[in-house]
């Protein structure tokens, strides 16, 4: 399986993510960590004053691909396992890892690194290393 490298669109996407994280931090004083936003929406003791921007944040994440395709963009093909049990267990593991790590990849990798947070540096090194090892094992050792 060959993955096409797209440096300009990747750079633009990174700049937009970084810019939006800065805007959220300046305007709301909050970190753009998706797991944190989702957990605050789902928890019953949620601060109601933050609910509107958090809901807008999640709706924007879900709506963005649809808006992009309506604007003429071509979405990449996705390969998602039809195995509902596998997808469910994977989702629970990601959620557990986010809680265990005190945040998700977006919170640590985008916002934490830019603030030079030692905790985020360690977390990002951990999940990037784990991801690289996992891809290597699946592609080169197990032949996936």
pLDDT tens track for 33-85: 888 888 888 876 666 778 888 899 899 989 999 998 999 888 877 777 888 99
Domain residue ranges of the chain, discontinuous segments joined by +: 7-141
Per-residue pLDDT at 44 = 65
CA 61, 67, 68, 73 torsion-angle sign: positive
pTM score, two decimals?
A: 0.71
Contacts of 103 (CB under 8 A, 6+ apart): 31, 33, 35, 36, 112, 120, 123
Contacts of 130 (CB under 8 A, 6+ apart): none
Per-residue pLDDT at 46 = 63
pLDDT over 90 at 112, yes or no: no
């Amino acid at each position: 399986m060959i993955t096409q490298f797209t440096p300009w669109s990747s750079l633009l996407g990174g700049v937009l993510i970084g810019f939006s994280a800065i805007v959220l931090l300046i305007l709301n004083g909050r970190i753009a960590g998706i797991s944190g936003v989702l957990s605050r929406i789902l928890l019953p003791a949620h601060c109601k004053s933050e609910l509107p921007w958090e809901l807008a944040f999640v709706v924007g994440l879900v709506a963005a691909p649809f808006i992009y395709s309506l604007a003429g963009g071509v979405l990449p093909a996705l390969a998602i396992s039809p195995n509902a049990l596998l997808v469910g267990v994977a989702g629970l593991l990601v959620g557990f890892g986010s809680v265990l790590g005190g945040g998700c990849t977006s919170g640590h990798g985008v916002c934490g690194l830019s603030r030079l947070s030692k905790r985020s540096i360690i977390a990002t090194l951990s999940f990037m290393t784990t991801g690289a090892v996992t891809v290597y094992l699946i592609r080169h050792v197990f032949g996936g």
